[in-house]
Structure formats: structure tokens, C-alpha cells
């Protein structure tokens, strides 16, 4: 896919929440910002886009979307939640076959989304979500194939997300592999009770703590710090200087 004409990129997170959502959003945003492109994050999935109208239902900055700056991304990957929110609004609901894409009534919500992107000068979309969001991304692509040749085109890239690992043809996604990975605390079901002295020692000497998983403790200042699980099989070594 040629990117030379992409100046403004939209990001949508749709469907249910998933671990590491902000890390994925920030990674996508950073890659475009560092390449000199503008990044727009749309609030609450497609919920504002499906009813878009250039006069009666306009989209307003900081109300319906945000224009990301580098300062917005700094540290975002370590924050919980979803910085642009999410929703289960499905612009492709009711479309069940290719012929439905020729039905102006069934594609009205898709057209609203497309019109919003064009009016906001969005050249490409990063779609993040589950299988319904994947279908929407595909419908948006197929919808544009039916437009007149001179109509603007919005390029679409979908980033799979699911906590159930139910994507056919994909080994795993970020929503699944993080909570079920052996490298995160959620996979540990028998976390031992640790005396305060040991917790403090683990914080002060993280590279000497044996572990195959991570979890968090609250230090004396009330700040979360990542430490290792001490019932581990191997030890980490500090990175080379």
C-alpha cells in the first residue's frame, strides 16, 4: 500500500475493552507522528461517525475526536483504559451479503462514516477491534470500490483485537496474548503472600529476583512498581551497558 499521499490518519477502537489497548493505540500513533503525518483519534468507536451529517451532525474536535500530539502519546502505553474510548456501534449491521453493499438504505451508515472521513480529510484508517470491527473495515473497503472513480478513497488497515482468541487464521492477538501470557501476572493463580521486607528488597533489586512473570506492588509513596514473581524458574540479568 502506497503511503506517499497519506497525510492524516484516523484511529478507531471498537468493541469490547482489552488489555494493552493504550499501548497499541500509542504505537500506531507514534509511527505516523514520527513520519510527519497527522493522527486523529475518534472517540467511542463508530458511535459518532454513523450519524454524521455535514450540517446537522458535525464532528467537533475534543468532543468527537482528538488530534494527537507527541505530548499526548508520552507514557500512554503504561496507562490503563482506552484513551479514546470504545463502543459496540456497528456501521455494517444488516449487511449480510455483497449485494447488500449496493443497497443505499443498508449502506447509509457506512456512507455517513465515509463522508465524515472525507470531510475531515482522513486519508487512512487504523481500525482496532474484534471480528465485527473487522467486518466493518472490510465493508468500508468494499463500499468504496463501488464509488465513482473520481471519489476519494480512504485506505483501511485492521488491527485484530480479541480476549477470546477466536479470530480464524490468526494465532493470537494483543487482547488475548497479554492476559494469558506466562509473562504477565494474570497467569499466576497462586501468588504468595510476601512480607514487606521482601517486597522492598524486590523493588530495590529487580534484576536479582527470580521470575517467569510480573506483577505490581505499591511502594511507600503509593506508586505502583513492577516487580518479579519470586517462585520462578530462572533469573533475569540486567541489560548490557
Sequence-separated (6 or more) residues with CB below 8 Å from residue 53: 112
186-241 residue pLDDT tens? 443 444 567 788 777 766 775 565 544 444 455 556 554 544 443 333 333 444 55
Sequence-separated (6 or more) residues with CB below 8 Å from residue 196: none
Residue 3, pLDDT above cutoff 90: no
The CATH code that applies to domain 8-180 is 3.40.50.450
Q: Which residues are catalytic?
A: 164
Domain ranges of the chain: 8-180, 185-228
- The pLDDT confidence band at residue 106, using thresholds 50, 70 and 90, is very high
Amino acid at each position: 500500500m502506497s503511503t506517499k499521499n497519506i497525510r492524516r490518519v484516523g484511529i478507531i477502537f471498537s468493541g469490547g475493552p482489552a488489555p494493552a489497548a493504550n499501548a497499541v493505540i500509542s504505537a500506531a500513533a507514534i509511527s505516523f507522528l514520527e513520519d510527519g503525518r497527522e493522527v486523529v483519534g475518534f472517540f467511542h468507536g463508530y458511535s459518532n461517525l454513523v450519524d454524521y451529517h455535514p450540517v446537522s451532525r458535525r464532528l467537533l474536535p475534543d468532543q468527537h475526536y482528538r488530534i494527537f500530539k507527541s505530548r499526548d502519546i508520552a507514557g500512554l502505553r503504561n496507562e490503563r483504559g482506552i484513551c479514546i474510548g470504545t463502543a459496540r456501534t456497528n456501521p455494517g449491521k444488516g449487511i449480510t451479503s455483497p449485494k447488500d453493499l449496493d443497497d443505499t438504505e443498508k449502506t447509509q451508515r457506512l456512507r455517513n462514516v465515509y463522508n465524515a472521513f472525507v470531510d475531515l480529510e482522513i486519508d487512512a484508517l487504523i481500525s482496532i477491534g474484534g471480528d465485527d470491527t473487522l467486518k466493518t473495515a472490510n465493508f468500508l473497503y468494499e463500499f468504496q470500490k463501488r464509488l465513482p472513480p473520481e471519489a476519494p478513497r480512504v485506505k483501511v488497515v485492521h488491527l485484530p483485537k480479541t480476549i477470546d482468541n477466536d479470530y480464524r487464521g490468526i494465532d493470537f492477538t494483543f487482547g488475548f496474548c497479554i492476559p494469558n501470557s506466562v509473562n504477565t501476572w494474570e497467569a499466576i493463580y497462586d501468588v504468595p503472600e510476601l512480607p514487606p521486607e521482601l517486597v522492598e528488597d524486590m523493588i530495590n533489586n529487580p534484576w536479582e529476583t527470580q521470575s517467569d512473570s510480573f506483577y505490581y506492588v505499591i511502594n511507600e509513596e503509593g506508586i505502583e512498581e513492577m516487580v518479579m514473581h519470586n517462585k520462578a524458574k530462572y533469573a533475569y540479568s540486567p541489560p548490557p551497558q
